[in-house]
Structure 1
Amino acid sequence: MKQDKAVFFKQSKALPFVEMRQASRSNACYQGHTHDEFSFGVIDTGIADYNNLNQHNRIGQGDTVTINPGDIHSCNPTVGDWSYRMLFVDTGWVGELQAEISGIDSIDYSPFTNRYLRSQQAYGHFDLLFTNLLLESNALSAEALLIEYMQQHWLTKDLEKSAPTHIHRVKEMIADQLDVNHSLTDLAQESGLSRFHLLRTFKQTYGLSPHAFQLDERIKSAKTLLKSGYSIIDTSIALGFADQSHLQRNFKKRLAVTPKQYQSFFV
């Protein structure tokens, strides 16, 4: 896997619940992975293959992608380099905004229904928002732009609630015990399904096998620990990785930077 020639991560000072990523002239490729946050971004140059669950698109300059929390996805350049910008927005903030708009206080959050846009208007609005966040303008201006942008992506279909309850229990069990190396038998007992039906149903529901989901959750938690100052070895131990190299190898597969490189942006 090749590394981005110019990439940065940055947490917005105006809106701490927003993280930014920008890659310029990147040729890095990513395995399928997920994020805890809502994420959306634009392609500035180049052409890429965008896969999100069962949707496959060839995207290019000016196109926008939207990714729900937990959606297995990948986006890789077809030939040569590409440049892109992404925003990662906390799900709690999105849920509160949706509650305000809908007038329903009980909702958690609802996912994007449209995961891909070809719109110069959307691209221009994103460019204005990203620039505002990058320059660390005042919170009032930044949040107003973010709310206006989010309203263009009103979310109605709740995929998480459609998941079978027994499969949801397995997902929660894995997510709550990331340091535990569960056996397939243990997970099958939790779900009340056979091992075969557990594997098939889990992947149909979440787009990943239970093991791949666990690994993806561990990487996301590793990002949080590294940003808070944990050492790489302590992070690997806390999250149940076999060793430090196991964390490093899988971290780079998903983010195209090593844990040390990622940590250097924040600590």
Structure 2
Amino acid sequence: MGDVMTAVPEHAPCLDVDLTATPWLYPGPWPTSSGTLTAEGYFPGEVGLVGIADDLDRTPVVAVGSNASPGVMRTKLRNNGVSAVVPFIRACVPDTTTAFTAHVSPRGYIAAAPYRQPGTHTTMWVSFLDEEQLDCVDETEAPNYDRIHVGDTLTLDNSEELDGYDIYRSSWGLIPDVQHHTGRDIAPVPFAHRQAQCRVFRHVRERLVGAVPSLPDGSSEAVVTTLWEDGALAGRVSEELHGVAMDDGY
């Protein structure tokens, strides 16, 4: 990892986020290249990450939302007194895409969740977490996500292959795309990294008409802020989303 540590830190944009203060910016910026997060910055560069997983007893975790943002991950770990050294690498993940969970997070946004879809291949981010980091992230994800193990083989950005990974699946199911109903075949609303909240709120209002009447009107920032500040309202919106939720395929 010496070459990574001596590289010039990548200051922006992947570290410039604080979802505890601006949750409407979920999921936060993702890196532009594989590298290693430290307390000092994000250092782009290629490393033998399969070796890190095997030799240093780190667990590969496929991230579908804010855990793919080094800035978000650094805040989670730092706030809990845990080491912020985390390798990140892009990978081709088979039979998996990303959708929106049918639930409002404690900070008012609707988060991403994985969807098991055979035949697809999606480029996603993999972080390599030690035991203490994994316990920390487990705690931040509970009770709305459960970490599961998937035995698929990933093809990493550095051409290595990795057998098996963990991923956090939603405890509440996914928001469906009603225009994809064909008998029992239902597809979820695809997750969009950019303007994620704008996309999902617009979908709920325009495609799930009347199904989630408690969702407030307004801009993404206004809606997320309202749901963040009004826990009872967020609970009602979540219950309405639970009523239309579809299975995630796992």
> With structure 1 as the length reference, what TM-score do the two structures score?
0.29
Which structure: greater helix fraction?
1
> With structure 2 as the length reference, what TM-score do the two structures score?
0.30
